[in-house]
């Protein structure tokens, strides 16, 4: 994703800076290789009735319904679910940084922030709009391409604000991310009062370390140390799947895109697939932190188990 700055807004009636007036996003991913016809534009998620305001008063941010607060400290907050996260961090420097100094701060802090939601990452885009728009932007892909994220840095009155968004469903949630940016509001004076009296230089103050939060999980990953077997059904009737002395009903809606997950301790298992008129047995051996899949074809034949994660 690449930022597409919006036109400069008219002067606000209050001194509160509104980051959403200067930040916006647009996709940069290549279009699909094959034309699948017109696809409906995703709608933004519904938002909580009131935006979240940090206890310091330094910023406020809209939060989608169902997203939980995963971390909060004197300088930051993060919200999300198992697949996405949005967070804000601010650093009270006490003076305006030069562009070179701000870029050094980007280098000092980006790993700290990204490590809170990803095991690995690669920068796939960046934009230096410090001179004309007052922000610096990074686009990354993380966890071997499983997800995408944006980070925006901007400074006001000696305070650097960082807002980031990471998701395993980035394209689907891009309209939601845009709405978050539109409602993101800053109060640099309130932020400047954190960590010392406003107006006193705090050049030596190190950037805060955001409280680590659980990373968005790969959608196919099992719980740590466990194994997971996904069972899907392409047959035209419900089937029964038996493993580890337990039966599971696998409906016809459990297609390969919506399989039934079964969590198991690592090990070797014998399973039985039963459909009207017949049954078949099979074996699967799963190691720790592995996910496998097995399913029934439309003609009733059983696929050989295959590994889907990692």
Share of the chain above pLDDT 90, in %: 54
C-alpha closest to that of 193 among 105, 74, 78, 60: 74
Architecture of domain 2-32+39-192: 3-Layer(aba) Sandwich (3.40)
> Quick one: pLDDT band at residue 145, thresholds 50, 70, 90?
confident
Fold classified for 227-309: Immunoglobulin-like (2.60.40)
The rounded distance, in Å, linking the Cα atoms of 299 and 272 is: 17
C-alpha closest to that of 212 among 78, 82, 84: 78
Token reading at 82: 């198992």
Q: What is the total residue count of the chain?
A: 310
pLDDT tens-place string over residues 19-28 = 544 454 433 3
Please give the model's pTM, rounded to 2 decimal places. 0.56
- For 92-106, 124-138, 210-224, 272-286, which range has the lowest pLDDT when averaged over its residues? 210-224
DSSP-based three-state secondary structure for 289: coil
Looking up tokens 């070179």, which residue turns up? 100
The pLDDT of residue 223 is 86
pLDDT tens-place string over residues 29-77 = 333 334 445 667 889 999 999 999 999 999 999 999 999 999 999 999 9
Q: Answer yes or no: are the C-beta atoms of 25 and 1 closer than 8 Å.
A: yes
The domains of the chain are located at 2-32+39-192, 227-309
């Amino acid at each position: 994703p690449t930022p597409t700055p919006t036109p400069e807004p008219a002067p606000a009636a209050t001194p509160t800076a509104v980051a959403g007036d200067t930040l916006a996003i647009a996709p940069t991913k290549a279009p699909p290789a094959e034309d699948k016809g017109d696809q409906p534009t995703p709608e933004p998620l519904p938002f909580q009735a009131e935006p979240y305001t940090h206890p310091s008063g330094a910023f406020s941010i809209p939060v989608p319904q169902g997203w939980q607060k995963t971390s909060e400290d004197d300088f930051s907050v993060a919200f999300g679910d198992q697949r996405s996260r949005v967070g804000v961090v601010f650093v009270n420097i006490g003076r305006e940084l030069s562009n070179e100094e701000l870029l050094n701060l980007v280098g000092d802090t980006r790993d700290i922030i990204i490590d809170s939601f990803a095991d690995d990452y690669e920068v796939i885009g960046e934009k230096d709009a410090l001179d004309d728009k007052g922000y610096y932007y990074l686009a990354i892909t993380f966890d071997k391409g499983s997800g995408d994220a944006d980070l925006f840095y901007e400074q006001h009155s000696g305070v650097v604000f960082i807002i980031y968004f990471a998701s395993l469903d980035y394209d689907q949630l891009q309209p939601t991310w845009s709405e978050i940016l539109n409602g993101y509001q800053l109060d640099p004076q309130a932020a400047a009062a954190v960590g010392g009296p406003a107006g006193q230089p705090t050049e030596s103050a190190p950037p805060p370390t955001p409280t680590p939060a659980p990373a968005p999980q790969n959608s196919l990953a099992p719980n740590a140390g466990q194994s997971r077997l996904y069972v899907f059904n392409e047959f035209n009737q419900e089937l029964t799947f038996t493993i580890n002395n337990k039966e599971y009903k696998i409906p016809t809606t459990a297609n390969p895109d919506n399989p039934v997950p079964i969590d198991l301790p690592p090990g070797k298992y014998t399973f039985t697939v039963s459909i009207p008129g017949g049954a078949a047995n099979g074996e699967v051996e799963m190691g720790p932190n592995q996910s496998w899949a097995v399913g029934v074809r439309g003609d009733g034949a059983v696929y050989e188990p295959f590994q889907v994660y990692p």
